[in-house]
Structures are given as structure tokens and as C-alpha cells.
Chain A
Amino acid sequence: MNTKTLGYILKRVLLALLTILVVITITFFVMHAVPGGPFLGEKAISDAAKAALEAKYGLDKPLFQQYLTYLKDIITEFDFGPSIKQRGREVIDIIVDGMRTSAKLGLAAAAIALAFGTVLGSVAALRRNKFIDRVIMVITTAFVSMPSFIMGMFMLLLFTVKFTIFPANGAEAGGLVLPIIALSLSPMANITRLTRSSMLDVLGQDYIRTAKAKGVSGVKTIFGHALKNALIPVITYFGPMLAYIVTGSLVVEQIFAVPGIGRSFVSSIINRDYTLIMGTTIVLAILIVIMNLVSDILYKVIDPRITLE
């Protein structure tokens, strides 16, 4: 690794850290700009009780000092404070709890998207302009622009209402199948298109012709030479894919009643559980930023031909 690459990585890491800081700052100040405060709501409470509550949560201090405390707690112990609406639970515990299910969901969706996407994309490229290529391209075009929640609703309708193949409740056994498929279709379509175009690009390269000319078998050329290089651009899609899956899972979990982080986020918005909204936004944002960083760096490091700015 040369100094230029190191410099690039350093620059990207710094930008990522700055981005995370900005996210925390925006989240904090936006949520604190909301009029009314967290204790205004269902029950009228006396001024004394309100003051006591505010003192307990440190809300009586100046805003900037609250911000610094919040920032310090996140950085030093990853502590987002207690949930306001769910008594006695820490925000981070709720997030970790939800993450268990959501991580399963997201990872499975990403794996399916990756596996099917690369295979379909390669098939389409190798059979360029044949019938199968046309079919794959038409289907992926439809899937790319279809929002995941629409997809989820169609599947809910088809497989749980019309034909009761899968349970509609994501907490039951087999209940994760539909949400996984709903989340994976659009990234799969994207990966298919990405693989197809980069595969076509690679197949036109000189080294493929050289391999063919020296008598390497077709299978070996495709797997040993073409596919390896064709998959490099797919790495760039990892970041956007994670962002898509995270935002998609917010509604897909709602539709299929999956007890994950997305569902708790949505209900925290409805319940106005401020600390939980902030905590979830920040954790998910950090995840996305890190994934973007990793996929960007991997892409540049793996392919030595790519010039660094």
C-alpha cells in the first residue's frame, strides 16, 4: 500500500467521522427544537414534578451543555440515555434487542440479493441480447424502481391473504421469509444490472481474448478471469444497499409485524419517544456511514487500476 492510498483512506475516515458527528449534532438539535418537550403530553403533571423529572434527565441545564453531555456519553460508553416512554429501559438495550431480528433480516436479504444478482447478471451478460437477457432486464427494470414497501404489501396480499403459504406475523416461524424477499428484490435487481454491465465491459477486454486464444476453457475463462474482475464494481453498491435495506426495513417490518429495530423506530416516532428516535437514528446512520466507508475503501484498494483523487 503506498502513501497515496493511505492518504485517501485517512481522508475518507476523517470525512466519515465528521459525518457521524454532524448526524449526532443534527439529530440532537432537531429533536430539541421540537416545542413541548418530552414530558408534555398525555397526563398533566405538576410544575414541581416536571422540574424534578427535568432535573433527573438533565434537561434543566443549558442546551449546549446537554449536547456536550450527550455527545460524551455516546463516544465514551455508547450510551443514549433511558427511553422516555418505555419505563426502566435503556435506549441502547432496545436497539440491541431489535437489532437481533433486524440483522438476521438484513443480512439474509443482502446475501440473497448478492447471490442471485451476480448469477442473473452474469447469465444476462453471457447471453447478451438473447431471450433470457431480455427477460432478466425487463424484470429487473420493474424491480429497481419498485419501492420495497409496495413490494411487501403485494407479497403480504398474495402469500398470506390469497394463498396462506406463509404466516403474516414476522415473529412466528417462517415469518421472516416474506420480509426477506421483499427487502432483497430491489437490491438484487440493482446488482443484476451492475454485474451485467461490468461483465460486458470485462468480456470485451484484451486479457479475455488472450485467455481464449491460449486455449483456456470457457468455464475457466468466465470464473477465473471474467467474473473476478466483473464483481469489483459491485462492491461500490454495498453502501447504498445497506442504506436501502435499513430504510426499507422500517416499513417492511411494520407491514409484516417483525419485532425488529425498524418497527421500534416507527413506534417511537408515533409515541414521541425522543431519546429512542435519536438513538436509533444515530446508530443506523453510523452503520450506513461505516458501510459506505468500507465499500469505498475496499473498491479502491482491491482494484489497483482505479486512480485516487
Chain B
Amino acid sequence: MKKKIFSMHLNVDSFLPASAEEKAYMVQMRPSSTFFRDGVKRFIKNKVALVSLIVIVIVVLSCIIIPMFLPYSYDQMLGVQLGKPVDPSYNNLAPFEFGTTEQAKIDAGEDVFPHIFGTDAQGRDYFARILYGTRISLAVGFFASIIVLLIGMTVGSISGYFGGKVDLVIMRIVDIIYSLPDMLLIILLASALKQTNLDEIIRGTILERIGANIISLFIVFGVLYWVSMSRLIRGQILSLREQEYVLASQAAGAKGKWIIFKHLMPNCISVVIISTALQIPSAIFTESYLSFLGLGVNAPMPSLGSLASDALNGINSYPLRLVIPAVVISLIVLSLNLLGDGLRDAFDPKLNG
């Protein structure tokens, strides 16, 4: 049909169904990117964070895998053998030195695994102790953060969800705990818990294997550190509830479950994961601090803090024993912090102030 220039008639062709060709034209050329994939892309671009991630993975894997193949355990005094007098040649070995019986074996042509970092004053392989201590420190940091997350999430979401008087009361309590000087109270709690007979309470339960001191560390963390997490989660829930996309979703007929799982959770989860990740180094720091004061893990179990604190006495003769745990703590804390920052930059552009 021919169209006159000034005619008000609409062109009928415009209302024909689209052909396959036209449809193909409208299809997006690139695959749609998800939030997660965007974040990963941003994260990989961040060299510092990537290097920290690699460092952490190496540290974690080595302190899990290497002890399986290491012929020495963290509490085995190499100079002490059944039915023989204590062999002092195993005490205070320098790196890659051997005790007398080991030297004899080597002379006889046998292979003996070297003491990479030497041994300590009681003839325990220091490399094994460092690996085990790193494992303890990392585990304490990780589980303490999980505990903080669980308590914080429960309280925070109760407070944010119910609002009103419940919220008011909880938030006043949080305010007070927040303004308490946490480190002092942690020392106080830890020193009090060290005197209680927690050992007897947990005897026979699964908790016994973890040890009373680590449990009291967890209690200490759980009591004081959840407040900032619960504040964060409450704030998230309150602000997300008022977002326009939630309203839009409601207008489109979405029900509560859909909104919670499709809108609230995905937007909340990245913030929560990031602040949990940032909690780990602070927990590791607190643990090593307490162990340094003698309030952390029980001997003979090592942690990086207690290893450093033990080494302080022999600083003049065996400085290496102080340097190694100190370097490992610094490395872990620094790279976890940088990793957390990198995660925040990559996955939560809003937080980046």
C-alpha cells in the first residue's frame, strides 16, 4: 500500500509480526552477566587481592597437607625414646641439623627427613609446630568468625524483622556492648574462664577434643564480637525492606518467600560474607594476643601467638624461633585484610566509601 506523505494513516506494515531475522536482531549479542560473574571479573583485575588470595590458599593448604607427610608431630620430643635416657642432642637444633642417632642413621646411608626450622628447647620439630600452630590460629579465626556470624545474624534479623520495642531493647543492649572496651573484657573473661573447670564440664563430649581453652576463646568471641555484625545485618534488612525493587516486586504480585530469597538475601549476603571475611584476621590477631599473654591455647598445643611468646625468652640465642611465627602471623593477617578489602571492592560497590 502506498503511503501519502501527509496522510494520518498508520503504516500497516509496522504492525506485522516480527520475522525470525528481526527477532534475531533483538537478541543480546553477549551473554548476560550475573552479579557474581561481574564481581569475579572485578576481583581478578585487583592484583593485590589476587596475590593475597594465593598466599592464603598456599598457607591453608600447606598447613593441612604437609603435616600428613611430615614424619614429626608437634608434641613429639625427639630426644625422648622409650626405655632410653633423654638424648639432649635433639634440643635446640639449628635448621637442617640432626640429633646423634639421626646422624648415625644418615651415616649408615638412610634417609632422614631434615628439621627444616630446627627443633625447640624440648627437642620438638619446630617446622611441625609452626604448621600446627598456623592451623590452630586459622581454625580459631575461622570458627570464631562463624560463631560471630551466627549470633549476629540471628539477633540482627530478629531486631530488623520485628522492629518496634524488640528492636529498641536489642539495639540499646548492642549500643552498650559496642562501647565496652572489648580487649580488656576479653582478657578478663579469658583469665576467668581459664580458672574455671571447663575441662570437667566438657569431659566425654565431642567438645573435649577441641580443648577447654579454645572453647573459652570461642565463648569470649561469641559474647563480645557479635554486636557489630548484628548492627550491620539489622541495618541491611531495614534499608533493603524499603528499596523500590522490593515494592516493585510486591506490586507485581510477589509473595514474602520470593522477596526474601530473590531480593533480600542476594543483596544482603555479599555484605555479610565480606564482613565475616574481615572478622577472621581480627579473630586471629586476638587469639595470638591472648596466647601471647598466656591466656590462649594450652601447652603443648601450639598457636602462633604462644610460639612467639615462648621464643621471647631465648631471643638472644634463637632469634629465628621468634621471627618465623611473627612473620607468619603478619603474613596471614595482612593478606586476609587485603583479601577482605578486595572482596569488598569487587562485590559491594555500595560500601566502598
Hey, which bits of chain A sit against chain B, CB under 8 A? Answer: 15-16, 18-19, 22-23, 26-27, 30-31, 33-36, 141-142, 144-147, 149-150, 153-154, 156-157, 161-162, 243, 246-247, 250-251, 254-255, 265-266, 269-270, 272, 277, 281, 284-285, 288-289, 292
Q: Are A147 and B191 in contact (CB under 8 A)?
A: no
Q: Are A281 and B184 in contact (CB under 8 A)?
A: yes
Complex: chain B residue closest to A266, CB-CB: B293
Name the residue among B176, B191, B288, B323 with the largest chain A CB count within 10 angstroms. Answer: B191
**B183 close to A (CB within 8 Å):** yes
Q: Which residues of B (305-345) have their CB < 8 Å from a CB of A?
A: 308, 312, 315-316, 319, 322-323, 326, 329-330, 333-334, 337-338
Q: Are A22 and B189 in contact (CB under 8 A)?
A: no
Name the residue among A22, A145, A285 with the largest chain B CB count within 10 angstroms. Answer: A145
**B106 close to A (CB within 8 Å):** no
Q: Are A22 and B180 in contact (CB under 8 A)?
A: yes
| Residues of chain B lying within 8 A (CB to CB) of residue A147 | 285, 288-289, 329-330, 333
Name the residue among B184, B187, B189, B334 with the largest chain A CB count within 10 angstroms. Answer: B184
**B188 close to A (CB within 8 Å):** yes
Q: Are A30 and B181 in contact (CB under 8 A)?
A: no
8 tightest A-B contacts by CB?
A: A247-B183, A288-B181, A145-B337, A34-B195, A19-B179, A269-B191, A285-B181, A30-B192
Q: Please give the distance in Å from A138's CB to the nearest CB on chain B.
A: 10
Q: Are B312 and A255 in contact (CB under 8 A)?
A: yes
**B196 close to A (CB within 8 Å):** yes
Q: List 12 A-B contacts (CB under 8 A).
A: A15-B175, A15-B176, A16-B179, A18-B176, A31-B192, A149-B289, A150-B329, A153-B308, A153-B322, A157-B322, A162-B319, A285-B181
| Residues of chain B lying within 8 A (CB to CB) of residue A31 | 188, 192
Q: Please give the distance in Å from A51's CB to the nearest CB on chain B.
A: 22
Q: Are B333 and A146 in contact (CB under 8 A)?
A: yes
Complex: chain B residue closest to A282, CB-CB: B184
Q: Are A34 and B315 in contact (CB under 8 A)?
A: no
Contacts A23-B180, A153-B326, A269-B191 given; does A250 touch B293 at CB 8 Å:
yes
**B99 close to A (CB within 8 Å):** no
Contacts A157-B322, A289-B181 given; does A269 touch B315 at CB 8 Å:
no
Q: Are A272 and B195 in contact (CB under 8 A)?
A: yes
| Residues of chain A lying within 8 A (CB to CB) of residue B196 | 33-35
**B294 close to A (CB within 8 Å):** yes
Complex: chain A residue closest to B317, CB-CB: A161
Partner of A277, one of B191, B312, B323: B191
Q: How far is the CA of A269 from the CA of B296 in the complex (A)?
A: 13
Q: How far is the CA of A141 from the CA of B330 in the complex (A)?
A: 12
Complex: chain A residue closest to B293, CB-CB: A266
Complex: chain B residue closest to A149, CB-CB: B292
Q: Please give the distance in Å from A77's CB to the nearest CB on chain B.
A: 23
Q: How far is the CA of A141 from the CA of B230 in the complex (A)?
A: 27
Q: Please give the distance in Å from B69's CB to the nearest CB on chain A.
A: 29
Q: Are B179 and A289 in contact (CB under 8 A)?
A: yes
**B66 close to A (CB within 8 Å):** no
Q: How far is the CA of A266 from the CA of B315 in the complex (A)?
A: 20
Contacts A19-B176, A269-B293 given; does A156 touch B315 at CB 8 Å:
yes
Q: Are A284 and B319 in contact (CB under 8 A)?
A: no
**B57 close to A (CB within 8 Å):** no
Q: Please give the distance in Å from B138's CB to the nearest CB on chain A.
A: 16
Q: Please give the distance in Å from B55's CB to the nearest CB on chain A.
A: 13
Partner of B181, one of A23, A150, A157: A23
Given contacts A150-B329, A162-B319, 13 further A-B pairs with CB under 8 A are A15-B176, A22-B176, A35-B196, A146-B333, A150-B308, A150-B326, A153-B326, A161-B315, A161-B316, A243-B183, A246-B183, A281-B185, A281-B188
Q: How far is the CA of A35 from the CA of B197 in the complex (A)?
A: 8
Q: How far is the CA of A51 from the CA of B205 in the complex (A)?
A: 37
Q: Are A269 and B187 in contact (CB under 8 A)?
A: yes
Q: How far is the CA of A146 from the CA of B176 in the complex (A)?
A: 28
Complex: chain B residue closest to A29, CB-CB: B192
Partner of B326, one of A16, A19, A154, A265: A154
**B281 close to A (CB within 8 Å):** yes
| Residues of chain A lying within 8 A (CB to CB) of residue B322 | 153, 157
Q: How far is the CA of A269 from the CA of B189 in the complex (A)?
A: 11
Q: Are A251 and B293 in contact (CB under 8 A)?
A: yes
Partner of B180, one of A246, A269, A285: A285
Q: Are A251 and B292 in contact (CB under 8 A)?
A: yes
| Residues of chain B lying within 8 A (CB to CB) of residue A255 | 312
| Residues of chain A lying within 8 A (CB to CB) of residue B294 | 269-270
| Residues of chain B lying within 8 A (CB to CB) of residue A156 | 315
**B227 close to A (CB within 8 Å):** no
Q: Are B293 and A19 in contact (CB under 8 A)?
A: no
Q: How far is the CA of A154 from the CA of B249 in the complex (A)?
A: 57
| Residues of chain B lying within 8 A (CB to CB) of residue A292 | 179
**B233 close to A (CB within 8 Å):** no
Contacts A147-B285, A292-B179 given; does A157 touch B315 at CB 8 Å:
yes
Q: Are B192 and A33 in contact (CB under 8 A)?
A: yes
Q: Residues 41-72 of chain B: 1 if any A CB is under 8 Å from the residue's CB, otherwise 0?
A: 00000000000000000000000000000000
